Structure formats: C-alpha cells, structure tokens
Amino acid sequence: MTDNLDFVAIAKKQIYEPNSPDNFLPTHYGIVRMGPGFTRHGCFQNGWIAPSYATFGDIPVVGEFLTASLMVRNYRLDELVILPPNMKGVFEATNLTEHQENYISQYKDAAAIIDFIIRTRQFNDAMMLHAFENWKETCDNLLKNPHFGIGWELPAYFPVYSAFCSAAIEEFFAKKKELHPCPCCSAFFDRQYRHAIELHLVWEDMFVRYTSPLCVPFTKCLWYHKFHVVHELRQPEVWIDYFSEDFTRVAPELLNIIE
C-alpha cells in the first residue's frame, strides 16, 4: 500500500522526515499579526507561525475521496470553482509567485472534490456544508498570514480528515491485537485504544472550540504519533519535549496528550 492510501503510513512518514517534529506537532502555534485586509477577528489572532497544521495531502486518496478526485479531473470541475476574495486578489495580481499559483490550483481541485462529495451524498449534511464554508475561509485567511510561503500547503478539510483518523484508530489496534493475541498484549492494546479515542475526542474539541471559530488550520490528529514515539521508539521524554508552553496555554485540554 502506497503512502497516500493509508492514514498511519502518512503519519509514520512524517515522523521520519528531516523537519520532524516541526512538521506534525503543534509547536508553532501562537499570536500572529495578520496582513492587510484581514479584519474578521482583528489584526492579531492565534495562528501558525510555521506550517505544522493538518494538510489536504494528509488525507488518504481512497473510497469516495478517490472517486471524487477522478470525477474532478475527468470533467474539469475545478474550473467551476469561484475563488474567495483574498485568493481572487492574489490570482489577479501581476506578481503571482509559483507557490501562490500552486496553492490556488490545489484549492480549486480540493474545493471541487469536497463539493462533489457533498452533492452526491443521499442526505443533506448540514455539518459538512458548514465545515465546507469554514474550510474555504480558513484557506483564504492563510494567505494573510505574514509567515505564509513555500512549504505552507492547503489546510485539510475537517470532516473527511477526522473520518479517516477515526477509521485508522479502529483498524490499527484491531491489527495489533491480531498480531499479538496473548492476553497481556491484548490488554495493553485495549488501553492504548481507549487512550487514542480520548486523544481524538480532545483533538475534535479543540477544532470546535479554538481553530474552527477563528478559521485557522487545525493541528494534525496526534494519537498515532504519540503511540509510535512513546511505545515503539520508547522515547516518552522526546514526546513531552515536542510541546511548547505557549500552545498548551492556548489549549489546556491538550495537556492530556503529554501525560
């Protein structure tokens, strides 16, 4: 299975990348002075000073996500996407950088994919529609972040990312118990499974209470990163060092992650 088809494979690859842990843990979240034209929450707000947030590329390309991607590509549905105001202004500028051009192109593809998924479902999902509007504004706001530049990728869409994360938790620990059927191992993985669910719920709560209202990208879901660093690499002290005091002061619930 290739990396882009499996949530855990994507997470594990990030752990071993040269920029680890900066590329997958919330070590760069703080107060940011937003650029000109950003007035929704004032010129200062909590945000990212480095691109350690969850990205659209963290979502495995399988299932309805893969189907939607193929439909967008085959029928050029990205050409129907209307750009939000900041992107529209940047796109029409004469000094458009290659990174800005790629970011806007990725936005159009992703927006068309999300729109296709929502429209082809057989029920009216108000939550997904609300999250879609929130995601659009989040992607648009990121252009006003003064740190935005090369390496800053398109933010992930919460409902799809969260669904893949939940499914990965179930599959990951089910496979662990199959490979290690002894009672002591089974009990250990049951405890880790419950802890992973707790971390996931804390992460969801942070999205609802902190990042979503501000329309800033949310942090990656960290349950697998903790399990790998603490229990497979056996480096719990490294895990604790990943977290800055500033971030846990903004979101004190995440202190549970380092216990």
What confidence tens digit (pLDDT) does each residue in 111-140 have? Answer: 999 999 999 886 668 889 999 999 999 999
Look up residue 26 and give its amino acid: P
pLDDT at residue 243, as a whole number: 66
Phi, psi dihedrals of residue 60, rounded to the nearest 5°? -65, 140
pLDDT in tens, 167-199: 999 999 999 999 999 999 999 999 999 999 999
The pTM of the full predicted model, rounded to 2 decimals, is: 0.86
d(CA 138, CA 218): 10
pLDDT in tens, 212-224: 999 999 988 888 8
What percentage of the chain carries pLDDT values higher than 70?
81
Q: What is the pLDDT of residues 209-256, one digit of tens each?
A: 889 999 999 988 888 888 988 888 898 887 777 765 554 554 555 545
Q: Where are the domains of the chain?
A: 3-258
Quote the pLDDT of residue 233. 87
Question: 54: which residues sit within 8 A by CB, 6+ positions away?
Answer: 155, 156, 161, 217, 218, 219, 220, 221
**Cα separations in angstroms, 74 against 70, 71, 109, 257:** 6, 5, 12, 43
Asked whether the beta carbons of 196 and 173 are under 8 A apart, the reply is yes
Q: Are β-strands 44-48 and 29-33 bridged in parallel, bridged antiparallel, or unpaired?
A: antiparallel
Q: Are 127 and 159 in contact (CB under 8 A)?
A: yes
| 97-106: long-range contacts, CB 8 A cutoff, minimum separation 24 | 99/149, 99/150, 99/152, 100/143, 103/143, 103/152, 103/153, 103/154, 105/78, 106/56, 106/153, 106/154
Tally the C-alpha atoms within 13 A of residue 192's C-alpha that lie toward its C-beta: 22
**CA gap 244, 254 in Å, rounded:** 11
Rounded distance, CA 53 to CA 74, Å? Answer: 30
| Share of residues in the chain with pLDDT > 90 (%) | 52
> Rounded distance, CA 134 to CA 57, Å?
18
**Nearest to 107, CA basis, from 62, 152, 56, 149:** 56
Length of the chain: 259
Please, which residues bridge with residue 48 across strands? Answer: 29
Is the Cβ–Cβ distance between 3 and 176 less than 8 Å?
Answer: no
**pLDDT at residue 43 greater than cutoff 70:** no
